[in-house]
Each structure stands twice: as C-alpha cells, then as structure tokens.
A and B are shown apart, each in its own frame.
Chain A
Amino acid sequence: MRIASLCQLLLALVLAPLLPGVINKVKAFVAGRTGPPIVQLYHDMFKLLGKGAVYSETTTSVFRFAPLAGLAAVIVALTLLPIGSVRALLAFPGDLVLLAYLLGLMRFLTVIGALDTGSSFEGMGASREVQFSALAEPVLMLTMVALARQADNLSLSGIYPAITGNTWVQAGPALAMISAALLAVSLAENARIPVDDPNTHLELTMIHEVMVLDFSGPDLAFIHYAAALKLWVFGSLLVGLCLPLRTGQALADVGAFLAGMFLFATVIGIIESTMARLRLLRVPQMLVGAGAIAIVALVLVLR
C-alpha cells in the first residue's frame, strides 16, 4: 500500500510538466497551428537548470529562498493527495486544511519574492494574486466541506474513495456543482484564462507571470515546475471527483486517473481557446459566483 502511495507521488513528480504541454497542444490545435511539443516544459526546465542566474541588486535572500521553499511546499501538498482508491502517503482527518495552507504558504512565498524586487509590475501582480486567492480560499474550503459531509469523512484519502458512480447517481447535481466551483478555483489559482493569461507577456495584464519576471536560471525552472505541480494538485482534486472509477485494482485506477488528468488538461485547453480573459474587476465576481454555487451544492448535500 505504502509502495503504491509512493509510486503515485513519483508519478506526479515525473508527469506534472506534461499538463501545460497538453494544454498548449490543445490550444494550438484549436487555432490550427502545430504548436510546441507536449514535452516542451521539460526542455525548458533542463535548459534553465543548466544556466547561470541573474539577481537584481535590490533583492535579498528572501528572493533566493522563496522559489525553493515554494516548490518544497507544493511537493509536500502532493503527498496528501490520493489517486483513486490508493491512499495518499500522508493521510489524517483534516488533511484538506493542511493542503489548502501549504498552497497558501507557496503563494505567500511567491508574493514576498515578487515584492522583494521593488518593481511596481511585480507589486501589481502580487496585489492581484493575494486578492484573488483570498476569495478563492473560502470557495475551495466550501467545496471540501461539502465533499467531507457527503462522504462522512474528514480526510482526503477517506473522501475520494467514498465517491463512486453510485454517489453520482444519488447526489449528481450537488457533485456537478462542486466540480464546477472547483474548476473555477483551479482556473483562478493556476493563473489560467479567464483569470490570467499565461501566454501574455504584457506586464500590466498578468498575475502569475508578472510576479516571476525577475527570476532566472534554476530558480525559474523551479518556479515553472512548482506551477505545473500545483496544476497537478488541482487536477487530481477534480479528476478524483469527476471520474469516480474505483475498481480496487491500483493499476486500473491509476490508468483511469491518468486518462482523467489528460482530459482535465484538454478541458482547460478548450476553455482557454474559447474564452477571453475577464476584466480584472470581474474576476472577484466570478469567484463569488463559484462560492454561491458551492453553497448551493452544500445546501443540497446537507438536505
């Protein structure tokens, strides 16, 4: 059992950089282009790891420290995630709170890393990031509360195996709404369209990309990697919910899960191809809307 848990962590660590690749491939396909190869991010990371680094004279050790600790935080967060019926490496009642706060730690570090450069661009991105995440946090927690009540369990590794096809038959609408709210949170937290555009390099419109403008070399590689892992975290939360295939066979479960992750990346790619970025003033409204849907789902679950 432990071996399986460890394997799934390794799986995440190895395969996570594929997700942005799939998203970009889908976007290119919709736009009628060939697009970069799916493994592009691996190439980028290896190139960056082999390079030197340039640091701003304004920065302090906070800037050096932030990306590393952020990456460590998201890796620890990964150890809390179950795949299918395979328990997570670390599972205890309330681990969903630790998950949310580890992602919070990662965000705090990115934000102070950005503020360390003294650049107003990066300050701007940091300011937006904290606003959106402060609003996304309660929504994430509401969805988790709804799932916890539905599964009568407080641990992620207890909740997810309890969600089966049968649960969907019984409480389909509620689960669908939870998934919708979770998807909105994932888009906001991972800086995807319609909240943020990962492809623009116009500083005034960006959130995540603008915060990491001054990082270079291995630090930038770590940041890209951490972002991919964070996308994997949210992807697993969604896929575990929407694809409740629980065969009990670890291998089949993992296979279904991987297919689900591929589907998740495809869905994000399609959303990115078909939607425009929201005006920044609209993003909080979208998150409040997601919160409203989560509350309705919760009311249905509690009924």
Chain B
Amino acid sequence: MNTLLVVVGAGLIASGGLLALLASRWPRWATGIASGTTVLGCGLGLVPALRVLLGATGEEVRLRWSVPNGDFLVAMDALSAFFLVAIFSLCALAAIYGVEYLQTYRKHKSLGPPWFFFNMLVASMVLVVIARNAVLFLVAWEIMSLASFFLVTFEHEDEGVGRAGWTYLVATHLGTAFLLALFVLLGEGSGSMDFVGFGLAEHPVPRHASLLFVLAVVGFGTKAGFVPFHVWLPEAHPAAPSHVSAVMSGVMIKTGIYGLLRTLTFLGTPPAWWGWLLIAIGLVSGILGVLFALAQHDLKRLLAYHSVENIGIIALGVGVGLLGLSLQSAPMIVLGFGGGLLHVLNHACFKGLLFLGAGAVLHGAGTREIDHLGGLLRRMPWTGWTFLVGAAAISGLPPLNGFVSELLVYLGGLEGVRSASTSHMPILVSVVAGLALIGGLAMACFAKAFGIVFLGEPRSSKAANSHECGWCMRLPMVILAMACAAIGVLGPLMVRLLVPVIALVTGMPDEGVRATTASPCTILGAVVGASVALLLLTVGLVILRKWLLSGQTVSRTVTWDCGYAQPTPRMQYTASSFAQPLTRFFQAFLRPRISLVRPVDTFPASASLATHTDDVFREKVYSPVFRGVARVVSGLRWFQHGRVQIYVLYIALTLLALLLWKLD
C-alpha cells in the first residue's frame, strides 16, 4: 500500500502537469492545477515515505510495460524513503512559492510549459528514487534531465541562458552515457535489468567492481556536481527560475548521491582506495566550490557554487564511511554515512531556503548583482531574517542543522585519526583540516552574501525601491528556516531515524548500527544542551541590556564616518572588496581576470576596475577538449550535403548493412 500511494502521488503530479499544459491559455488555472496537484501529490507521498522510514515495509509494485528488458518495477525501502522525504517536502514548498514567483512572467510568457516541466521534474525524481529496474531508472533519469533542461532555458531570450542550457544538456548526457555502461555491466552478470539481480553483495566481489564504482562516481557525480564534473552546475542553477533552482540544488542533484549509494549496495565490501577517492573528490569539491563561490558577484551563482561545496561535504561523509567499511570500523561507518546522509537532508533545507530567498531578492529588487544591493533587511524583513538563518546554517554554525551533520563527519574523521593505522592518516587528517577550512571559508562567503545584500545602505535605486514578497513566497521560506532550527535541536532523533538507511547502505545489521549510534546520539544530546544554554544566555543578555538601558538616553545618529562630510552609499565596502583578500590569497586556483583602467591626471575623467572569475575547469579543461572534438568532427562535415536524395541513400545503405549483419 505504501509504494502504491507514492506511485499514485507521482501520477497525480504528472497528470497535473499535463492538465496545466493543456490549460496554458488560462494562466490562473494552469498555476492552480499544477501547484495544487504538486502539493497534494507530495502530501500523499510524504506519509508513506515517513512510515517506511519509521519501520513499515514498502511493497513491490510491478506493472506491465512493453519495453525490452524493461519492467515497471518500483519499490520503497529506507534509502528511497529517506530521499523521498526530502523530495516531497521541498517540492511542495517550491510549488507554493512558484505560484507567486511566476506571476511576474505572466505578461509576456505562457505559464503552462514551466508548470508542466516542473511537475514532470518532481514526478520523475520520485520515480528515479523508487525505480527497481535499470531501464525504468534510466527513463526516469532522462525525463528528469530533460524537464530540468527546459526549466533552465525558461528565460531563453537572455543571452547567457541558452549557453547554460546547452552546457547542462551536454554534461548530463555524458553522465548518462557512463550510467548506461554501468547498468549494462551490472545487468550482464545477472541477465536481468532488475535491481534485485544486481545484488552482488552476497557473492564474492566481482573483479570489475572497481570499474563499476568508477563508472558510478563519474556518471552520478556529474549529476551531483562533483569537481571536476560540476561545470554545468554554476551555469544552469542560476539560470532557472528560483523555485526551480531550489529544487534542482536542494534535491535534484541529490539523486546523484542516491544513485551512488544505491550502486554501493550492489558492490559488496569496498577496498580502501574507494574511500580515498571519494574523500579526495569531496575535499577538492568542497574547497574549490567555496572558493569559487567567494569570487562570485551574482547571488544565485554564488549559491550554485555552494552546492558544489556541500556536495563535497556529503562526499567526504560517504568517503569516510567507505573507508570505515574497508577498515571494519563501525563508528567510522555510522558517523561517515550518517553525516553524509543527514547533510543531504540539511542541504535540501538550507539551500532550498537560500535559493528561495535569492528569488525573493530578485523578485523584490530586480537584480541578483550583490554589489547593486544592500539594506534589504529593512525593506524585506521576512526574506532577510530567514536568509540569515539559512546563511548561518550553511556555514555550519551551531545551533542550526548544518552543524549537526558536519559534526558527524568531523567525528567520523576524528575517530579514524584516533584509531586507524598510520597509512590512512594523510587522508583522514585532511578530512578534518579540510572541513575546518571549508567551514571558515563558507562563513566568510555567507557573511559577505548576507552582509552586503541585506545590511548597510542600498547601493542602487533598485535596492532602495525593493519590496517584500507576498505570503505565498514567505511561507515556504519561514517553514524551511524553522526546519533548519528544528533539525539542529533534534539531532539525536534524526540520527535514530537514519539507522535503517545506514544499515541498508552498508549491509550491517540494524541492531549493530543502532548500538553504534548510541554514542553519537549522546554527543548530539550534549550539543543540544549547549544550544539551549546558548539560547537562554542570549535571552538573558537581551533582558539584561533592556534593563541597563531603561532610564538611559538611547539616541540615533549617522554611522561613524571619520569626519567625512558627504558619505554616500557607494562608498560602502562591496562584496568584491570584502572577498578580495581571500580571492587574492587563493588566486593560484581562482585565476581571476582583472581589467583595470587606472585613474590618470589630477582630474581623472574615468577609471574602472572589473574582476571576473571563470570556472577554471571550464576554461582550462573542457573548452580545449570540446574545441578539439569539434575540430575532429568538423572533418565529417562532407556527409552533410543538404540533398534529400543523399540522405535517403544513407538510410537505404544503413538498412542494407543491418540486414546483411542479421542474415549471417
């Protein structure tokens, strides 16, 4: 019954999308139908997903499907249920948000297609997570990619958006090619494309398990945004409408993590170097992600790079867990996988929140250039305060949820440092030091994002005239902010919820995992104690100051300006200047392009400074490769004559060749 409900929910969402497409002519109806069915479908699916997570079983549902090797086979276990909870919750909130957000486009765009693709995206993500047949999985994966492609190119009349869309399309299909190879190899062993047959865990590890693992890391890593397969991410996420960015960043890229974890269940005990590889990828993604984020001027692009960073933290957690599996250290397994998985959920909360906040800024002020904003907290208090919660959470600051999952990964690394042999020390020490560096840089980056956008004085008339969004947009942000705080305080509970998921991924018995989680649960309990103390102390201090200031004069004046006669808002520190010391220190990695026109003479007519940080991998790795490929392929151009007769000849020749091949 549980799985069936989820399938019905997904079907409801998909059909809602179709109806919205049919109702394109009446935007109000299209919006209402699509968002209504999404919320309803998500609500319908959330209940069984939670029940399965709490211990109920999700039965297999097999429907007839006439595709060779394919079978419409779906089921729900703890791993699926965990990802479903994130998908359903965030998508429902994004759908509510979208109702108001897309209104801006009503005048010059039809709202049917974006809603159709949004609903298809949600439904396909659900299908990806519950599919138990490789063909079905790949079909759902492809629908997911295409739906998100059309959403990314929603504003295709903008110059950059087209480029972003094509980058995304190419990257995601290259990734899918690796997945195809992965599933063909997996299916070869069992002779069936059902996941059940892939379960190699019982058998001795096949010789090519490592090959399969690498294929999965590349294929799923492309979707997840591991460096160096991340190049599409900072292009595509900012281009999409904000509620879609939230869904893409919050949950869609996590389907890559889901796929990787699912593949791990097929592959048996990992050798140590798998853990090393994932940790290395996690470190590079985390550090480069946050560094590139620091150098960005565009709020949504900054957030997109932070997704790379957080995927890196998740990879660190999973890597520590894998290393624990190969070293047979139960605490490392539980802490690593637990931290990684919890960070999946946490990142869905705060990244969803931050993208929705960025959308509200774009909606209210009309720009996402950080250096044109400022002083928005007074004008958009709801957006501002919820954004602050998200910023603190993503920086991993206690008492919010980001700290809980990062602490678990830290503990996994520290446990490894304490107990593992010297040969694994370099990678384990770099987990801890790397996390600290990522944490410090993320804090710098979000101090910049929040401080420059929401604090100070507005730097342009757009920011000065900005307005707060309506309740449809506020409500999802408030709910997500509360979720960030709640998970932070309910840490021990969350870890207990994760027990069946960890057991499923690692193949450890439930009881073993539960026994091992006892220690992290007490630790998180102590953290909760500290958090409560922190809150109480803050409240106490607020009361103390109120009492101290009662009866005293409290006056308001201008900010201390060093005696300068006419300060203007443009003299404030900008985001670029705020980040400059760090970007300069790390310029070896960032390679910023700086164009400077110096002021000359006593009365300089003009001067300008522009910095631009392109993605190093895009500029230095992919562009040359693709140019090379284009050069090679352009040699084949003579095939294209533009004459119909020739094309018919090609077809005839192909048919003939196939016939001959089949005959002998």
Name A residues whose Cβ lies closer than 8 Å to a Cβ of B. 49-60, 62, 65, 68-69, 71-73, 75-76, 79-80, 90, 92-95, 97-98, 100-102, 104-105, 107-108, 111-112, 115-124, 126-128, 130-131, 133-138, 140-142, 145, 148-149, 152-154, 203, 213-214, 217-219, 222, 280, 284, 298, 302-303
Cβ-defined contact, A126 with B578, below 8 A: yes
For the complex, give the distance between the alpha carbons of A284 and B455 in Å. Answer: 28
Name B residues whose Cβ lies closer than 8 Å to a Cβ of A. 374-375, 377-378, 388, 392, 395-398, 403, 407, 410-411, 414-415, 417-418, 422, 425, 429, 432-437, 439-441, 443-444, 446-448, 450-452, 455-457, 519, 522-523, 526-527, 529-530, 533-534, 537-538, 540-542, 544-545, 548-549, 552-562, 569, 571-573, 577-582, 585
For the complex, give the distance between the alpha carbons of A123 and B580 in Å. Answer: 12
Cβ-defined contact, B436 with A141, below 8 A: yes
> Measured between C-beta atoms, what is the minimum distance from A261 to chain B in Å?
23
- Give the A-B pair count, Cβ closer than 8 A: 249
Cβ-defined contact, B562 with A203, below 8 A: yes
In the assembled complex, which residues on chain B have CB atoms less than 8 Å from the CB atom of A219?
545
> Measured between C-beta atoms, what is the minimum distance from A188 to chain B in Å?
12
Cβ-defined contact, A127 with B573, below 8 A: yes
Cβ-defined contact, B549 with A52, below 8 A: yes
> Measured between C-beta atoms, what is the minimum distance from B15 to chain A in Å?
46
Residue in contact with A131 in the complex, picked from B425, B439, B545, B581, CB distance below 8 Å:
B581
| 8 A-B interface contacts by CB (under 8 A) | A53-B549, A79-B533, A92-B523, A93-B519, A119-B560, A126-B451, A134-B437, A217-B552
Cβ-defined contact, A145 with B433, below 8 A: yes
In the complex with contacts A52-B554, A108-B443, A152-B418, A97-B407 CB distance below 8 A: yes
For the complex, give the distance between the alpha carbons of A68 and B539 in Å. Answer: 9
> Measured between C-beta atoms, what is the minimum distance from B595 to chain A in Å?
22
Cβ-defined contact, A118 with B375, below 8 A: yes
Residue in contact with B538 in the complex, picked from A53, A58, A69, A100, CB distance below 8 Å:
A69
For the complex, give the distance between the alpha carbons of A117 and B573 in Å. Answer: 11
In the assembled complex, which residues on chain B have CB atoms less than 8 Å from the CB atom of A131?
444, 581-582, 585
Which 6 A-B pairs rank lowest in CB-CB distance, beginning with the nearest? A123-B573, A115-B451, A118-B456, A134-B440, A52-B552, A130-B444
> Measured between C-beta atoms, what is the minimum distance from B228 to chain A in Å?
23
Cβ-defined contact, B432 with A76, below 8 A: no
For the complex, give the distance between the alpha carbons of A133 and B425 in Å. Answer: 25
Residue in contact with A134 in the complex, picked from B432, B444, B457, B548, CB distance below 8 Å:
B444
Cβ-defined contact, A108 with B433, below 8 A: no
For the complex, give the distance between the alpha carbons of A57 and B437 in Å. Answer: 36
In the assembled complex, which residues on chain A have CB atoms less than 8 Å from the CB atom of B450?
112
Cβ-defined contact, B452 with A62, below 8 A: no
Main secondary structure of the interface of B (DSSP, over half): helix
Cβ-defined contact, B552 with A138, below 8 A: no
> Measured between C-beta atoms, what is the minimum distance from B489 to chain A in Å?
14
In the complex with contacts A60-B378, A92-B522, A142-B429 CB distance below 8 A: yes
> Measured between C-beta atoms, what is the minimum distance from A57 to chain B in Å?
5
Most buried by B among A115, A135, A153: A115
> Measured between C-beta atoms, what is the minimum distance from B173 to chain A in Å?
37
Cβ-defined contact, A115 with B456, below 8 A: yes
For the complex, give the distance between the alpha carbons of A241 and B44 in Å. Answer: 57
Residue in contact with A101 in the complex, picked from B403, B455, B557, CB distance below 8 Å:
B403
Most buried by B among A57, A137, A284, A303: A137
Residue in contact with A130 in the complex, picked from B452, B540, B582, CB distance below 8 Å:
B582
> Measured between C-beta atoms, what is the minimum distance from A79 to chain B in Å?
7
Having A101-B396, A108-B447, one finds 14 other A-B pairs with CB under 8 Å, namely A52-B555, A55-B554, A57-B559, A92-B523, A92-B527, A101-B398, A104-B396, A108-B395, A120-B572, A120-B573, A127-B580, A134-B582, A145-B417, A148-B417
Cβ-defined contact, B433 with A130, below 8 A: no
For the complex, give the distance between the alpha carbons of A79 and B537 in Å. Answer: 13
Residue in contact with A72 in the complex, picked from B396, B422, B425, B537, CB distance below 8 Å:
B537
In the assembled complex, which residues on chain B have CB atoms less than 8 Å from the CB atom of A138?
433-434, 436-437, 440
Cβ-defined contact, B457 with A56, below 8 A: no
> Measured between C-beta atoms, what is the minimum distance from A20 to chain B in Å?
21
Residue in contact with B557 in the complex, picked from A57, A140, A148, CB distance below 8 Å:
A57
Residue in contact with A76 in the complex, picked from B425, B452, B534, CB distance below 8 Å:
B534
In the assembled complex, which residues on chain B have CB atoms less than 8 Å from the CB atom of A75?
537
